[in-house]
Amino acid sequence: MKEKSGTTSGFRKFLYNDNTVGYVFAAPFIIGFICFSLIPILTSFYYAFTDYSLGTKTAEFVGLKNFLKLFQDEVFHKSLWITLKYVFLSVPLKLIFALLVAFLLTRKSKMVTLYRSLYYVPSLVGGSVAVALVWKQLFARKGLFNTVLDGLGLNGINWFGDQGLALIPLILMSVWQFGSSMIIFAAGLKEIPGTYYEAARIDGANGFQMFRKITLPCLSPIILYNLVMQTISAFMAFTQASIITQGGPNNSTMLYALYVYNQAFKYNDMGYASAMSWFMLVVMCGITAIIFKTSKLWVFSESGD
């Protein structure tokens, strides 16, 4: 009897503990993270050293064979190169565009909120299959863009048939989804004290000078954040390539994530795909580290440490 009341009170104590509420509310995330992120991440690390295939379901340890295979795989080299090209072109373009629009939308006008929402919409539907299909139609041989070009008396462009051009629509699609970066920039722009601009104006600075000497430095921490986030997500781009071009022509749009997917689910080489994923993790870590290292040179911190 005594014991029982002891455990119930212990349970009550636990139930009414301040931290408990926090844990319970966080539990869905924690459980989700462990089940759907942490465990798969750890198993994929193990699979990277095996010949695991979804079909046969046997995983034999093969040591570094998967990683050595990376060096001989022509398609892998090409997809790595294409992905770097995609990242280095799409991320700066997207950020410049987002900053430009955010800057335009700092004016005090009633329509600003509406425009901001409108420009944010593409980001909401960003990774979706539907948008990729629309994009495929727009750039198709007889799609909207070529119809317009025809109307202007120009020759239509064979976007997805030319290996030099096929990546461009995919980059444009990513640039078009500039909304989330734009919102963050807009918030950052609001934080810059108006007094700086006033002072500069009194000193006779023009708009461009103010942008260069005040806006950019004050915004640089935000630019760093956006740069890192967008770089990481650009490395993982998958939907466009999978839906629109399936990697063609001549693998010129074989983005890394698509090739990993093909190896894992189409060619049944989950072990090799896992090895590729871990290789990409290293590459992404490297590039992010470089961004952080160089950020000391261009990120302006007001606390001035």
Partner 1 sequence: MKKKLLAVLLAAVMIVGTAGCGSDSGDGSSQAGSTDESTSEAAGTESSQEDSAANESTADEQITLRMAWWGSQTRHDITVEVIGMYEKENPNVKIEYEFFSFDDYFTKLKTLVASDQVWDIFQLGGNFPMYVDKIHYLDEFIESGVVDTSDIADAYLQITQDADGNQMGLSNGLNTYGIAYDVDMFTEAGVALPTETWTWDDYYNAAIRIHEYYGHYGSSGFTSSEFIAGCSTYIGQYGKIGEYTFFNIDLTGMGFDDASMLEPYIQMRADLINAGASPDSGAEAEITNIENDFLVTGEAAMTWVAVNQFPTIYDICQEEGRTLALAPLPRITENGPSGAAIQSSQMLCVSQDSEHKEAAAAFISWFQNSTECNDVLQGERGIPVNGTVRDSLKASATEGKQIMYDFVDLVGTFEAPEKINVLSPDGQDEVVDKYRNYIQQVVYGEITAAVAAEKTYADAAAIFE
Q: How far is the CB of 214 from partner 1 (least distance, A)?
A: 46
Q: How far is the CB of 87 from partner 1 (least distance, A)?
A: 23
Q: How far is the CB of 241 from partner 1 (least distance, A)?
A: 11
Complex with partner 1: residue 61 or 265, whichever CB lies closer: 265
Q: How far is the CB of 139 from partner 1 (least distance, A)?
A: 9
Q: How far is the CB of 190 from partner 1 (least distance, A)?
A: 34
Complex with partner 1: residue 26 or 118, whichever CB lies closer: 26
Q: How far apart are CA 248 and CA 78, in angstroms?
A: 12
> Footprint of partner 1 on this chain (CB under 8 A)?
15-16, 20-21, 24-25, 27-28, 31, 54-57, 75, 136, 140-141, 158-163, 166, 244-246, 248-251, 262, 265-269
181 neighbors 94 (Cβ within 8 angstroms): yes
Q: How far is the CB of 267 from partner 1 (least distance, A)?
A: 4
Complex with partner 1: residue 33 or 292, whichever CB lies closer: 33
Complex with partner 1: residue 196 or 261, whichever CB lies closer: 261
Complex with partner 1: residue 111 or 149, whichever CB lies closer: 149
Complex with partner 1: residue 226 or 245, whichever CB lies closer: 245
Q: 274 vs 34, 79, 82, 211, 259, CA distance in Å?
A: 19, 16, 20, 45, 11
Q: How far is the CB of 195 from partner 1 (least distance, A)?
A: 44
Complex with partner 1: residue 158 or 288, whichever CB lies closer: 158
Look at the block and give the residue holding tokens 């050293």: 49
Residue 291's contacts (CB-CB under 8 Å, 6 or more residues apart) are 224, 227, 228, 231
